[in-house]
């Protein structure tokens, strides 16, 4: 589903954000990317989204080499990847339902599909009773659930979450991770970049650890701080 082949990303003259990274994520996997700030987690996410280009090496997503994708086809590539971020990125003047619907509208989906799918996805994330609320009327955890609903409403094959619990309290974080786990069980490949040690340790999924742009550990059912 996602493959990094000897990928290096250098910023400026000599700042290596990633160095000779090799990684394969299979269809349907749930993978945590862990490491300190500056270890390369967010750079990997942005390379997958084709926001950055690698300095060397190749990245494949769903069998396509990203360097072969023209600028015109980048939006289509990104529509196959749902994205969840730490700061939610919700439209403040739209309700929860309207935020989710907007994600479908911009991809040209029909009104009938939108009317059907939006209540279904908000039920999945536990927000049926908050459909008419605007972001300012929702808690942080509820806003993140709207963000996840928006990312998943078109059921992309890949869901990427970059620090999805970074602004949330521990109890709320548990609910968000459980929701991502539920989405993964539906069949979606989930990649989570996180500092949330407690959640990583509880969930015991595959853990890929980065340090100074290099993969230093890759464990099935790993913990945040497994021995290398």
Mean pLDDT of the 60-70 span: 96
What pLDDT is stored for residue 228 in this prediction? 41
- Report the mean per-residue pLDDT for the chain: 93
The angle, 0 to 180 degrees and rounded to 10, between the axes of the packed helices 140-152 and 170-186 is: 10
For 68-111, write each residue's pLDDT tens digit. 999 999 999 999 999 998 888 899 999 999 999 999 998 888 99
What pLDDT is stored for residue 102 in this prediction? 94
Rounded-to-integer distance, Cα 25 and Cα 36, Å: 21
User: Strands of 81-85's sheet, edge to edge?
Assistant: 81-85, 158-162, 189-194, 30-34, 206-211, 214-219
Pairing, β 81-85 against β 56-61: unpaired
Q: How far apart are the first and last CA of the chain?
A: 26
Distances in Å between the alpha carbon of 223 and those of 55, 168, 177, 197?
31, 21, 15, 8
Mean pLDDT of the 129-152 span: 95
What pLDDT is stored for residue 227 in this prediction? 52
Rounded-to-integer distance, Cα 148 and Cα 140, Å: 12
What pLDDT is stored for residue 12 in this prediction? 86
Instruction: Tally the C-alpha atoms within 13 A of residue 59's C-alpha that lie toward its C-beta.
Output: 26
132 near 96, Cβ under 8 Å? yes
Instruction: Express as a percent the part of the chain with pLDDT over 70.
Output: 99
17 near 193, Cβ under 8 Å? no
pLDDT at 123 over 90: yes
Q: Is the dihedral of CA 33, 36, 40, 41 positive or negative?
A: positive
Nearest Cα neighbor of 80 from 98, 54, 61 is: 61
For 187-228, write each residue's pLDDT tens digit. 999 999 998 898 899 999 999 999 999 999 999 999 998 754
Mean pLDDT of the 146-172 span: 92
Rounded-to-integer distance, Cα 157 and Cα 170, Å: 28
Nearest Cα neighbor of 47 from 15, 104, 8 is: 8
């Amino acid at each position: 589903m996602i493959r990094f082949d000897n990928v290096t990303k250098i910023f400026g003259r000599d700042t290596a954000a990633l160095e000779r990274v090799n990684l394969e994520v299979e269809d349907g996997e749930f993978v945590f990317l862990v490491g300190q700030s500056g270890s390369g987690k967010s750079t990997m996410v942005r390379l997958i989204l084709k926001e950055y280009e690698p300095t060397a090496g190749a990245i494949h997503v769903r069998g396509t080499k990203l360097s072969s994708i023209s600028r015109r086809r980048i939006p289509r590539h990104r529509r196959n990847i749902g994205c969840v971020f730490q700061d939610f990125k919700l439209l403040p003047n739209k309700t929860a339902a309207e935020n989710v619907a907007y994600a479908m509208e911009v991809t040209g989906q029909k009104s009938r599909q939108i009317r059907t799918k939006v209540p279904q996805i908000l039920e999945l994330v536990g927000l049926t009773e908050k459909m008419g609320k605007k972001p300012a009327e929702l808690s942080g955890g509820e806003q993140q659930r709207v963000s996840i609903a928006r990312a998943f409403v078109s059921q992309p094959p890949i869901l990427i979450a970059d620090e999805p619990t970074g602004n949330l309290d521990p109890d709320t974080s548990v609910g968000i991770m459980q929701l991502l786990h539920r989405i993964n069980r539906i069949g979606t490949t989930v990649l989570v970049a996180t500092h949330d040690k407690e959640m990583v340790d509880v969930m015991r999924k595959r853990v890929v650890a980065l340090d100074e742009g290099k993969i230093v550990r890759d464990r099935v059912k790993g913990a945040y701080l497994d021995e290398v």
